Amino acid sequence: MRNWVTWVQGLLLVVAIGLVAALFISGMGGPKPASNRPSPSTSPTPSVVATQAPPSVSQEKPGVPAIPIAEHETWPIEGSIDPDRQVDYKSTATPKVELPAALGGDLAAYWQQQLEWAKCGKGECATVKVPLDWDNPGKAALDIAVVRYPSKNPKNGPIFVNPGGPGIGGKAYADMLGADHWEGFDTVGWDPRGTGDSTHVVCGSTEDTDAAYRADSSPDDDAEQTKLVDAWKKFARDCRDASGELLDHITTIENVRDLDLLRFLLGGEKLNYVGVSYGTYIGAMYAELFPDRVGRLVLDSAVDITNDQEVAQVEGFELSFNNFADWCATSSECTLGDSRQAIFDKVSGVVKGLDASPLKVDDREVNQGTAVTGIAYFLYSGAEQYSTLAKVIEAAIRGNGNGLLVSADALNGRGRLEWNTEAYAFPAIRCIDSYDNGVAKSVELWHEVSAKSPLFGVNMGVEPVCETWTAKSVPFLKLTGKGAAPILVVGSTGDSATPYRHAQTMAEQLESGVLLTYDGPGHGATTNGNKCIDEAVSKYLTEGTPPVDGTTCTP
């Protein structure tokens, strides 16, 4: 089973790889989408500043893989697949998500769109129609929100960017990068289907969602486990009631087909792309489905695309916490202890104590799962966040859990008053992309991983959202990108969210993969300002020359 989508990655509902993109984009400006924000089709239309006619299709069929998806190799799967999912649930509610009408009865109508670009901030925004179902294009459409920052000298065409997730929109990432972040490229970000300002997933009320996320994820007995499972069953049904058929069509496979259509409509002969975290899965999937259209792909902080289960994600957090503890033990800015073990013992004891006695923060609580999620938030960065993390933990020891709650909310996707769209899009995309072996198996795996991760594995526990989801999972494709141009895979040895081994195995499995290593902490090496990494990535993007496989950069 693929490590990033097994139960262990089910922990990502609390400490999401891509919900960490909230950390990347928290200072980017622009509001985060709220759960009930209207879709782009119902929003006011700004004045058009440019009209872009569709390119000539010729022999190309944008969004249509040369080899049908059903003919791609899949990984063998052990055990029963999705045994506890609520796939027979029949909603009687009218969905809140309204699907736009199809452009026509075939794909040609989507290929022949004329894009209207309007000024938005310092960039230009447009809405692109894609088919809800690529194999039945006349059924309905989806709105895909796109932003571009034109280069002053657009000699290299568009470069698409994605910060991860799943569930995080890419527009805000493009806003952060701006024009000419890589010289000669138009920077383009899009909110994938189901996310952000695109036609997006909607679930239950703030109170209903709170009930699921607040459920005790480390059950001590059968009664607590039943209560936990029931909470996520309710969450899954709420999402089906509100989102309807959209939940069946938000796979990464479909997202990648949308991306190929965007590439075509924006004039890219080949796809140039930078993806971080879950964004590496998008890039690897693109290379598998459209290898002949791969231009220059940078896949940074790779997720696991293999059957490798040797390193769980929580082990990455455990490693990062140990690095923090080593700093703390010798720093005057930290009073948690004078050795790694002493610091672990103190923090672990405090966190476990929250199971029976949560900290009160206004009308909410900080339990053990919330606490380690709040700690994990700071570990996505490097050592520059250690001092703040120390202060937040010290405050919790004194009985003030506000810092842990705020940081956990940021990672989970909860705003001050309501949940953001990513909190709904994340499980919706992850669960249809991934299979599971049921609730009982997830509990078994929790106990196994707890031995390797005594702080994060033990206290994050089980989040059976996929095990109780209302959509079946899609086939598990083996991604090799056979025939693609060289693909640059970047990994950090101290990455907390996507362990370095995943970058190694991704570079090995992709037939044209080249590994570039950052020997330091943090999640997202292409955004940490390291000169060595920046120069290698820029040379690859602008000249097409990747570094020597195995090149290592140091802080």
Tell me which residues are annotated as active site. Answer: 277, 495, 523
Coil, helix or strand at residue 517: strand
Please, are residues 521 and 316 in contact by the beta-carbon 8 Å criterion? no
How far is residue 76's CA from residue 86's CA, in Å, rounded to a whole number? 24
**CA pair distance 368, 365, nearest whole angstrom:** 10
**410-449 core/surface letters (b: 16 or more CB in 10 A; e: else):** bbbbbbeeebbbbbbbbbbbbbbbbbbbbbebbbebbeeb
Which two tokens mark 452? 């390797």
Task: Give one DSSP letter per residue of 265-298, joined into a string.
Answer: HTT-SSEEEEEETHHHHHHHHHHHH-GGGEEEEE
Number of residues that this document lists for the chain: 555
Helical H segments across 118-251, by residue range = 171-177, 206-214, 222-243
Per-residue CA distances from 480 to 81, 124, 291 (Å): 24, 35, 9
Count of CB atoms situated within 10 Å of the CB of 550:
11
Q: Which residues contact 56 (CB under 8 A, 6 or more apart)?
A: none
Number of neighbouring beta carbons within 10 Å of residue 224: 15
Query: Which residue matches tokens 């991760």?
Result: 453
Q: Which residues 6+ apart lie within 8 Å of 34 measured at CB?
A: 415, 418, 420, 421
Query: Rounded to the nearest 10 degrees, how much is the dihedral formed by the CA atoms of 193, 196, 199, 204?
Result: 110
Q: Is 274 exposed, middle or buried (0-12, 13-18, 19+ CB in 10 A)?
A: buried
Q: Are 314 and 11 in contact (CB under 8 A)?
A: yes
Quickly tell me which residue has 């792309």 as its tokens. 273
Contacts of 293 by beta carbon, 8 Å cutoff, 6+ apart: 260, 263, 270, 271, 286
* Alpha carbon separation from 395 to 15, 329, 383 (Å, rounded): 21, 18, 19
The whole-angstrom separation of Cα 75 and Cα 59 is 32
Q: Are 186 and 154 in contact (CB under 8 A)?
A: yes
In whole angstroms, give the CA distance from residue 386 to residue 381: 9
Query: Which of 379, 356, 367 lies closest to 453 in space, CA to CA?
Result: 379
Q: In the 8-state DSSP scheme, what is residue 518?
A: E
CB 258 within 8 A of CB 271: no
